[in-house]
Structure 1
Amino acid sequence: MRTRLAIKTHALLERVFPERRVFLKSDTDTRFIRLKPGTQAIGFAGGTVVVAWAIVSTAILLMDSIGSGNFREQAKRDQRVYQERLNEISSERDLRTEEALAAQERFNAALDQISVMQSQLLQSETRRHELETGIEVIQATLRGTMKDREAAREALAELQAGAENGTALAASAGSETMPVDFLAEALTRTAEERDKIISDARDALTQARDLEVELALLKDQNDQIFRQLEEAMTVSVAPLDKMFRAAGMPTQQILDQVRRGYSGQGGPLTPLTFSTRGEEPSEDTLRANRLLNQMDQLNLYRIAAQKAPFATPVKGAFRFTSGYGYRRDPKTGGRRMHNGVDFAAKSGTPLYATADGVVVHAGWQSGYGRLVKIQHEFGIETRYAHLSRLRVKVGQRVSRGDRIGDMGASGRVTGVHLHYEVRVGGRPVNPMIYIKAANDVF
């Protein structure tokens, strides 16, 4: 069976590839090489495979070259779009910075106005008490004058009655008589006293009316001052409250914590109140106390804002190169969580603390390079990584705006930048929450 199949296969190869001889002739000899059908078939198959491989390889190279060109073009387009977007973000950041500065100026102007209005309010309250006291004295004097006038009228009536019955009185008295001149002088003196009392009463009434008008004007002025102060408090407190709520921070707990830290007797945050001297408080007193409580709350908000990272760690020119969240790892290419935001600028750019706090780490840490950690109030911690130089030490207290280091490329990086983190209770949160929340205030 195998022989028959081999014979058929050989016959087929003979038809397709007939046996050929290649003669090799020299000067003295002639030789030949016999090419059998099987050998020719093997050679043909090998040549076909080589040619096919060359064609496929060439096609792959061409396709790869074309794809690489398209990829480079796409990368260039993406880079242009990204650059345009960065320029837009930079312009928007500059605009927000200008708005924040304008808001800060308005805020400071409102505080100055509040201080002036508070002084005016205290002065007007003192003046009002003086006027009320003066009115009470005038009223007491008027009542005494009215009593004296009535007593004078009664004495005059008795004297007139005695003058009419002078003869009878003289007879009943025996040897004594009342001179008519003495009676006339007494009547004249009594009439003058009566006229003076009436004149003093009229003057007192006129002065009382003038004081009532002045008191009414003073009340209107106080009401206007109260309205301006209430509006200023609303304008000042509302943005701060909105800023804390936008950052997801419980405002009441934060204010209570700040109040406990500033509860010393006579401290800067001890609430002031107007005394009622044991009487029922007036509407003005209640309004004044409400305003003073709001001013106390404003001070608490301002202190709390200094202790939370409502600021940007870079004040010079920079651009955002990476946000918070999952991203493609620049080293491995895999998907990885990015626990902060990256600010890119030139090496040595100054970096600043974003809130008051205590430095708990200042040194090298794997991955972070040169790292500064600052512990703030309310369980908040900020981290500043990849620094080229450290300018603080562990245990050092810093305030917002203090320089803590210089931007660099230490640790696991692909270029010069700052990796900035905010952690609450040890868990990372998006730092842009705090930075954006402060845009309308600082």
Structure 2
Amino acid sequence: MRTRLAIKLHSLLERHFPERRVFLKSDNDTRFIRLSSETQLFAVAGVAVIVGWTTVATAILLMDSIGSGNFREQAKRDQATYQDRLNILSTERDSRAHEALAAQDRFNAALEQISAMQSELLASENRRRELETGIEVIQTTLRATMKQREDARTELAKMQQDGGDSDMYMASAAAPQQMGFMTEALVRTAEERDQIAANAQNALDQRDELELEIQLMQERSDEIFRQLEEAMVISVEPLDKMFRQAGMPTDRIIEEVRRGYSGMGGPLTPLSFSTRGEDLTPDEIRANTLLQQMDQLNLYRIAAEKAPFASPVNSVVRFTSGFGTRRDPKTGGRRMHNGVDFAGATGTDIFATADGVVTHAGWQSGFGRLVKIRHAFGIETLYAHNTKIRVKVGQRVSRGDHIADMGSTGRSTGTHLHYEVRANGKPVNPMTYIKAARNVF
């Protein structure tokens, strides 16, 4: 059976690949090589495999080359888009910085206006009290004058009842000197009565004028109160919103600042109007409320100086890396980035973002030349890869002080600032604070 099948296959191959002989002739001899059908079949199959493999490999290389070119072009386009986006962000940051400076100027102007209004309010309150005292004196004088007038009228009526015309005539005939004295007394009494009436009318006129003046002063005081209350709302609300957006509890922050400034004679001691044991008037209640709000505004301003709401660089820089997981620029692996990076020119000024005390100013592995500042509320800021440090450990700095120059020391691929914010030892996103203060400072 097997032999018969082999014969059929051989016949089929003979039909397509007949046996061939290749003759090799030399000077002395002639030889030949017999190519059977099976050999030809294997040769053709081998050639086909080689040709097919060559074709597929060539196609794969061409596709890979085309794809690589497309990827490079796409990478270039993405890089150009990223660069344009960075330029737009830089322009927007500069614009926000100018807006913040303008907002700070408006804020300072509002505080100056509030101070002037407060002085005017206190002067108005003193003037009102003086007018009230004057009215009381005038009313007392008026009551005494009216009493004297009534006494004079009573005395005159009594004198008229004690003696008639006949008696007066007899008395005048009997004692002309006494009659003349009585006449003079009556004339003086009439003149005093008229004078008292004139004084009473003048007192009433003065009272009306004083009441009108008091009414005008009250309207002026209401206007001052309204402007002060509006100014307080405009000034306090942005600061409160800034702290809340930064995740800082305002009640605890304000209480902590108040405890730090609670000494006698301190700038934050609340003022109040003395009541002399009497109930507070509506104006005194409003004034005390405004004074408390001014005290709270001052506490907010002090707290804002102690928290890192400012930007560490004021020059034109690029925001090259954000907070969170990223591709490590050295190893290419994924790892956590605990801060933000600002790339700029070597020597760019770096500023403290809040009031605090320098706890480290020197070399630290990985960070290069590093500055650490401890602030209030358990916050610490780090400024790494500096080329030069301008502060010392233990030095107290204020927001905006020049503390270092930008460089590329430590584990760095180029000149930049690595900026970190840590709250109670835990890294947080620094842009949370910077963005929260964007419309305030």
Q: Would you say same fold, with TM above 0.5?
A: yes
After TM superposition, give the deviation of residue 160 of structure 1 in Å.
2.7
Contact residue 269 and residue 296 of structure 1 kept, 8 A: yes
Matches of 1:328 and 1:107, distance apart in 2: 42
Partner of 1:254: 253
Whole-angstrom CA distance in 1 between matches of 2:32 and 2:360:
87
Equivalent residues in 2 for 1:40-439 (5 A)?
58-164=58-164, 167=167, 179-439=178-438
Deviation at 1:169?
Answer: 13
Give the count of matched residue pairs. Answer: 433
Change (3 A) 1:242 1:50: same
- Return the offset for 1:20: 6.3
Check 1:24–1:295 CA distance in 2 against 1; reply closer, same or farther (3 A cut).
farther
Cα distance in structure 1, aligned partners of 2:165 and 2:55: 159
Deviation at 1:190, TM superposition (A): 1.3
Superposed CA offset, 1:138-166 (max 9, x none): 11111111111122222222333344389
- Rate the CA distance shift 1:16–1:427 in 2: closer, same or farther, 3 A: farther
Which amino acid is the alignment partner of residue 306 of structure 2?
A: K
Matched AA of 1:198: A
Following the alignment from structure 2 to structure 1, what is the Cα–Cα distance between the partners of residues 26 and 394?
97
* C-alpha spacing 1:23/1:349, structure 2 compared with 1 (3 Å): farther
Distance 1:164 1:284 in 2: 62
Structure 2 CA distance, aligned partners of 1:321 and 1:334? 17
How far does residue 99 in structure 1 lie from its aligned partner after superposition? 2.2
Mapped to 2, the partners of 1:373 and 1:203 lie a distance apart of 77
The amino acid across from 2:368 in the alignment is: G
C-alpha distance in structure 1 between counterparts of 2:112 and 2:344, whole Å: 37
Distance 1:120 1:81 in 2: 57
Offset of residue 90 of structure 1: 2.0
Secondary structure class of the residue paired with 1:179: helix
Q: Cα offset for 1:325?
A: 1.3
Q: CA-to-partner distance for each residue in 1:217-275, whole Å, 9 max, x for gaps?
A: 00000000000000000000000001001111100100000000001112111111111
Q: For the structure 1 residues 262 and 65, does the alpha-carbon distance in structure 2 shift closer, same or farther, using more than 3 Å as the test?
A: same
Identity of aligned residues (%): 65
1:120 and 1:273 map into 2 onto residues whose CA distance is 16
2: distance between equivalents of 1:346 and 1:33? Answer: 83
C-alpha RMSD of matched pairs (Å): 3.4
User: Post-superposition shift, 1:59?
Assistant: 4.8
Confirm or deny: 8 A CA contact 1:259 1:269 kept in the other structure.
Answer: yes
Moved more, 211-220 or 367-376: 367-376
For the structure 1 residues 166 and 279, does the alpha-carbon distance in structure 2 shift closer, same or farther, using more than 3 Å as the test?
A: farther
Provide the rounded CA distance (Å) in 2 between the counterparts of 1:394 and 1:17.
98
TM-score, scaled to structure 2: 0.88
Whether the 8 Å contact between 2:420 and 2:430 is mirrored in structure 1 is yes
The 1:166/1:107 distance shift into structure 2, 3 A limit, reads farther
Give the Cα–Cα distance (whole angstroms) in 1 for the partners of residues 31 and 268 of structure 2.
117
Judged with a 3 Å threshold, the aligned counterparts in structure 2 of structure 1 residues 31 and 400 are, in CA distance, closer, same or farther, namely farther
Secondary structure of the corresponding residue to residue 142 of structure 2: helix
Query: What 5-or-longer segments of structure 1 have no aligned partner?
Result: 1-12
Distance in 1 between the 2:158 and 2:409 partners?
112
- Cα displacement (A) at 1:301: 0.5
TM-score, normalisation: structure 1: 0.87
